[in-house]
Amino acid sequence: MIDYNPHDWRSHLFDIQGSLVREIIGRVLTCVAWSALIVTCYYFVTPRIAIPSTVHSVVGTALGLLLVFRTNASYDRFWEGRRMWGSIVNESRNLARAASAHLAGDPARRDAIVYWTIAFAYASMNSLRGQVGLGPIADRLPPDEVRAAVASRHVPHHITLRITQHLVEAKAEGRLSDFLLTNLDQNVQLLIDYLGSSERIHKTPLPFAYVVHLRRALILFNFSLPFALVRDFGLETVPLTFLAAYIFFGIEEIGVEIENPFGRDDNDLPLERICATIEQDLLAMVDAEEVPVSSGTGV
């Protein structure tokens, strides 16, 4: 994700990175070249190629509504993905906080739960990107358990199973009551639920028929637009076609860019940053537990 100041237009108005210009420039320039050909034919071959602009006025309105729906649907998916990862952050903190408090007498098991919770975030990020890995926290985990997790069919699910096993063992040792075990395991269940919601977004694109129809409509509209403009605007048809193509193709490409927000594109969610935040916050809890408390009085 690109960080920017929304109040400062000058800092990003002419930026290329993240603006999707590279993605649409080919389509836009093709429309511009086509419009130049139509203008040439109008002046040097026959003016009868011009058509009334009424149809394009009506179709342009309908096309605008289709693009609005496309962008809104994609942004809903983007924002839901952000909410799910915000919830993963919160539940990770809750699980680590409760484990740190209730398992303070068993620091080895407490640390294991915290480390596996951090690994869950990294594993979830990699799973959504079609990769495998537990992030830098893997260095703090037993190598044989890391190998078993990486070799599993669904790495995040294997990690939650490992966390639950630690909780059940703590219960068997008398360190957790049934009530506390249920509450802590509820945090683990929520982690699975939030990842499942993210996977639903990742694995369910917008309906194929809608996307194909919208793109066909965009092509028909932009490539027939010069015929409707050339009689009234003449040579100005070329820059006007460029303007329309840039706006319409740009809006459609924005929808494509943000409908799956878990990748590495410039406008995707900053999952690396979110995972790093979880790691820093949870390790800070562990480190705080290891710092001896002074018995002196404060001033």
82 CB-side CA count, 13 A: 12
Task: Kindly state the average pLDDT of the residues 15-20.
Answer: 80
**Distance of CA 81 to CAs 48, 65, 75, 125, 161, Å?**
52, 24, 10, 12, 24
Split at pLDDT 50, 70, 90, the class of 74 is very high
DSSP string, 12-72: TTT--TTTTHHHHHHHHHHHHHHHHHHHHHHHHT-GGG---SHHHHHHHHHHHHHHHHHHH
> Into how many domains does the chain fold?
1
- Does 96 fall in a domain? yes
Domain-located, residue 30 = no
In a domain, residue 186? The reply is yes
Q: Tokens at residue 115, please?
A: 């480390």
In a domain, 23, yes or no: no
Indicate the range of 4-8, 84-88, 223-227, 244-248 predicted with least confidence: 4-8
Range of the domain at 93: 49-288
Q: Is residue 6 part of a domain?
A: no
Determine, yes or no, domain membership for 41.
no
- Average pLDDT estimate for 276-291: 83
Residue 294: is its pLDDT beyond 70? no
Give the pLDDT confidence of 92-112 residue by residue, as tens digits: 999 999 999 999 899 999 999
**Other C-beta atoms within 10 Å of 290: how many?**
8
* For residue 21, pLDDT beyond 70: yes
Residue 36 domain flag: no
Q: Is residue 244 part of a domain?
A: yes
**pLDDT number for residue 3:** 78
Global confidence as pTM:
0.89
pLDDT tens digits for range 120-134: 999 999 999 999 999
Binned at pLDDT 50, 70 and 90, residue 297 comes out as: very low
- Section 149-153 average pLDDT: 95
Is the pLDDT score of 249 beyond 70? yes
212-240 tens-digit pLDDT: 999 999 999 999 999 999 999 999 999 99
- Predicted local confidence at residue 42, as pLDDT: 93
pLDDT band at 289 (very low <50, low <70, confident <90, very high): low
- Tell me whether residue 62 is exposed, middle or buried, using C-beta atoms within 10 angstroms of its C-beta: 0 to 12, 13 to 18, 19 or more: exposed
